[in-house]
Amino acid sequence: MDISVVIPLLNEEESLQELHDWIAKIMQSNHFSYEILFIDDGSTDKSWDVVTQLSKQNSCVKGIQFLQNYGKSQALHAGFKKVQADVVITMDADLQDSPEEIPELYRLITKEDYHLVSGWKKKRYDSKIRKNFPSKLFNWAARKTSGLSLHDFNCGLKSYKLKVVKNIDVYGEMHRYIPVLAKHQGFNRITETVVQHQARKYGETKFGMSRFTNGFLDLLTIWFLTKFGKRPMHLFGLLGSFMFLIGFLATGYIGALKLYKLYHGFKTILVTDNPWFYIALATMIIGTQLFLAGFIGELILRSKQRENRYQIKDVI
């Protein structure tokens, strides 16, 4: 099989038939063997009924229905587990991603041997305040922290080699930073291509202020995981040891100074009356806690399994 198209969706019943027909037309005109995998992320409209009907019309259409809304990352995770084609393409279900881009995305993977190709919506039709400006801010910060020179990390239109999607773990809300996750796993041949962005035809955008704040928190998370995800002790252990050493030396100095003054008959106060003693003690305690956090992080890293992150209601 040439191409697997993974499409997460939430309440997009109006656009699904048109999107399917458009994709099928492109696939047939380019003689691609393909599958279309719709991931219904807990829709409350008739989206799943439409997907079911499409699967009856076209044997290339498959679907997974979540029991409730778990988020786009979980939908992509479920889709990536099921796909089988040599090239995997992801796109949104709202018709803002154009299937006309599929042949070029496929070519860049198969002919240019890229691991991942990210779309760049150079000209956008979103609200500048609600989505356009936050997107530019996210992308700037992601470039600075990841070292990847991409203009649009969060573009839903991407293509991958099959081995990439089988080796990255998309969880939480990390779908925004899949190129960073791929780079972290050693897939360094990553590029971007300008793609057409279309104005929303049906429904309303799912973007809200919660995604604005969550995006920055996710960026901090991905930065930490990239730098210290495999060795948390390298951060917490080093910082904890440094703070403990400072506190220990400061406590020793306070005690030595007390003994020196007593030996020479100088007026002095109790060590416990010295406010610097408690600052030094607190530094030692915080240093110990940081060291233990790094140690526990190492233990969790070796034992934690991210399973049962979503429940599937139906599969076609």
Tens-digit pLDDT string for the chain (316 aa):
999 999 999 999 999 999 999 999 999 999 999 999 999 999 999 999 999 999 999 999 999 999 999 999 999 999 999 999 999 999 999 999 999 999 999 999 999 999 999 999 887 666 555 556 667 777 887 888 788 889 888 899 999 999 999 999 888 778 888 998 899 888 999 999 999 887 777 766 655 556 666 667 777 777 776 677 667 888 888 899 999 999 999 999 988 988 888 888 888 888 888 888 899 999 999 999 999 988 887 777 666 555 556 777 778 8
For residue 79, what pLDDT is reported? 96
The size of the chain, in residues, is 316
Structure token pair of residue 128 = 């500048």
d(CA 20, CA 305): 35
The whole-angstrom separation of Cα 162 and Cα 35 is 14
In degrees and rounded to multiples of 5, residue 3 shows phi and psi of -135, 135
* Of the candidates 163, 118, 125, the residue with the CA atom closest to the CA atom of residue 143: 118
Q: Is residue 65 within 8 Å of 55, Cβ to Cβ?
A: no
Class of domain 3-128+152-204: alpha beta
Q: How far apart are CA 256 and CA 251, in angstroms?
A: 9
CB atoms within 10 A of CB 32: 18
What's the N-to-C CA distance of the chain in angstroms? 19
pLDDT at 211: 60
Query: How far apart (Å, rounded) are the C-alpha atoms in residues 118 and 105?
Result: 9
pLDDT at 141: 78
- Give residue 299's pLDDT: 78
State how beta strands 3-9 and 87-90 pair: parallel
Predicted confidence at residue 203, as pLDDT, reads: 66
pLDDT of residue 213: 67
Calpha distance 8→265 (Å, rounded)? 78
Q: What is the pLDDT of residue 142?
A: 80
Nearest CA among 79, 72, 109 for reference residue 94: 72
Q: What is the pLDDT of residue 125?
A: 65
What residues does each domain of the chain span?
A: 3-128+152-204, 233-303
Q: Which tokens sit at 163?
A: 């081995």
The answer for residues whose C-beta is within 8 angstroms of residue 164's C-beta and 6 or more apart is 88, 115, 116, 182, 185, 187
Taking Cα atoms as reference points, which of 232, 251, 250 lies closest to residue 292?
Answer: 232
pTM assigned to the model: 0.75
